[in-house]
């Protein structure tokens, strides 16, 4: 990247547009850091605003006694941050030079920006089965979800037979959680034993409201406005059957939106951004911070994402104040944390 092509130098650049990103932007803007946000260009599975843009009613975000629609919540967060002076652009960051200071960012349209500090808040994508009607009903609020804790308590799931697809610890946790609201929980697993830990498997298998469909895969999600049943195929015999359900929860994992960060900062073995110090958001590169689901492989909730966005902005502000980076015009090599 040549200096003549660079758009400008920013005190703090935030990549992302979910709860973590907009909370970080709000805190940074109120601290007069004039944050610049790359909201993202959007794709089939992820649009600016993050996973909440595909969520209908959100009942577990504080401050909304009657709940709030996911897109409405994200729009309110965005407008609040912009109201305090945040600037944004709907482009994807495709390359980051973290070896020189200030950091250099390149977008998918060729926009180049220098950053005195950087907050990574690109979120994560839930893994889906890839069925056409699954995606449609998930986006319309028709009874398909990838987050039991987020959606399981909603009225239209209560008292129904609910299916959980998966065989790991997340699937066991989701199934046990859903027993609070469901008439029955049916775990659908493609093998004849779970991948989950022994203790989690035993808890699920011994629960009187949980049963298992072994050696089964979902081949079709049935229903027009709401889910009515699942078409299953036996992985051993090939036999096809139908299971009537009032909801389906997909629990086969998440993929952090961190592929473009490989070589920029240290990543965990599972692909999430590593934050070496507990309860801190700084990454392996001083001056680069991470917030939300791109670094959180455990909670993955909107409210925890917002909390880490606050933390990242505060850490960035204090790091810059301590370093005296704002207004420091010369380029230099950075020492990366071991």
pLDDT in tens, 251-275: 998 899 999 999 999 999 999 999 9
CB-CB contact of 153 with 160 (8 Å):
no
Q: How far apart are CA 185 and CA 203, in angstroms?
A: 13
Single out the catalytic residue among 150, 174, 293, 296: 150
Query: Residue 234 class from Cβ within 10 Å (0-12 exposed, 13-18 middle, 19+ buried)?
Result: middle
Give the residue-averaged pLDDT of 218-228: 97
pLDDT of residue 45: 57
Single out the catalytic residue among 147, 174, 293, 296: 147
Reported confidence tier of residue 125, pLDDT bands at 50, 70, 90:
confident
Q: How far is CA 219 from CA 12, 131, 179, 194, 244, in A?
A: 46, 7, 25, 20, 14
Indicate whether 119 pLDDT > 90: yes
DSSP 274-322: P--STT--B-SSTTEEE-GGGT-SS---HHHHHHHHHHHHHHHHHHHHH
Indicate whether 11 pLDDT > 70: yes
Please tell me the pTM assigned to this model.
0.79
Domains and CATH numbers, the chain: 3-125+254-333 (3.50.50.60), 128-250 (3.50.50.60)
pLDDT, tens only, 293-335: 999 998 889 999 999 999 999 999 999 999 874 444 444 555 4
3-state secondary structure of 244: strand
Q: How far apart are CA 68 and CA 56, in angstroms?
A: 8
DSSP 132-189: HHHHHHHHHTSSEES-HHHHTTSGGGTTSEEEEE--SHHHHHHHHHHTTT-SEEEEE-
Please indicate whether residue 150 is annotated as part of the active site: yes
Query: Of the ranges 72-81, 121-130, 162-171, 329-338, which one carries the lowest mean pLDDT score?
Result: 329-338
85 closest CA partner among 19, 15, 11 = 11
Single out the catalytic residue among 92, 116, 151, 293: 151
Q: How far apart are CA 79 and CA 304, in angstroms?
A: 20
6: tokens are: 């660079």
Q: What is the mean pLDDT of the chain?
A: 91
- Going by their DSSP bridges, the two strands 144-145 and 247-250 should be labelled as parallel
Indicate whether 236 pLDDT > 80: yes
Reported confidence tier of residue 46, pLDDT bands at 50, 70, 90:
low
Please indicate whether residue 147 is annotated as part of the active site: yes
249 closest CA partner among 126, 150, 162, 135 = 162
Query: Radius of gyration of the chain from Cα atoms?
Result: 22
pLDDT of residue 325: 46
pLDDT of residue 32: 96
Give the residue-averaged pLDDT of 206-226: 97
Work out the percent of the chain whose per-residue pLDDT is above 70.
Answer: 93
């Amino acid at each position: 990247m040549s200096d003549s092509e660079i758009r400008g130098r920013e005190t703090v650049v935030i990549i992302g547009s979910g709860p973590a990103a907009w909370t970080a932007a709000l805190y940074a803007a109120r601290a007069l850091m004039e944050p610049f946000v790359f909201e993202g260009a959007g794709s089939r599975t992820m649009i600016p605003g993050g996973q909440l843009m595909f969520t209908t009613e959100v009942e577990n975000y504080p401050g909304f006694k009657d709940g709030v629609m996911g897109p409405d919540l994200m729009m309110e967060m965005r407008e609040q941050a912009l109201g305090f002076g945040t600037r944004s652009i709907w482009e994807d960051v495709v390359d980051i030079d973290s070896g020189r200071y200030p950091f250099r960012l390149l977008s998918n349209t060729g926009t180049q920006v220098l950053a005195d500090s950087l907050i990574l808040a690109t979120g994560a994508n839930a893994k889906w089965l890839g069925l056409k009607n699954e995606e449609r009903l998930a986006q319309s609020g028709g009874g398909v979800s990838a987050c039991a804790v987020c959606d399981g308590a909603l009225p239209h799931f209560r008292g129904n037979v609910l299916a959980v697809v998966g065989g790991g610890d997340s699937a066991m946790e989701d199934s046990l959680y859903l027993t609070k609201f469901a008439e029955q929980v049916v775990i659908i697993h493609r093998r004849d034993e779970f991948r989950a830990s022994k203790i989690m498997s035993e808890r699920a298998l011994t629960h009187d409201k949980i049963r298992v469909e072994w050696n089964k895969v979902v081949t079709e999600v049935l229903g027009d406005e709401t889910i009515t049943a699942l078409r299953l195929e036996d992985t051993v015999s090939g036999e096809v059957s139908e299971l009537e359900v009032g909801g389906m929860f997909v629990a086969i994992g998440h993929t952090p939106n961190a592929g473009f960060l490989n070589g920029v900062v240290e990543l965990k073995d599972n692909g999430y951004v590593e934050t070496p110090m507990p309860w801190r958001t700084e990454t392996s590169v001083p001056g680069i911070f991470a917030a939300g689901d791109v670094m959180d492989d455990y909670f993955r909730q909107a409210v925890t994402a917002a909390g880490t966005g606050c933390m990242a902005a505060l850490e960035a502000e204090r790091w810059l104040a301590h370093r005296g980076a704002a207004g420091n015009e010369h380029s230099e090599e950075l020492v990366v944390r071991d």
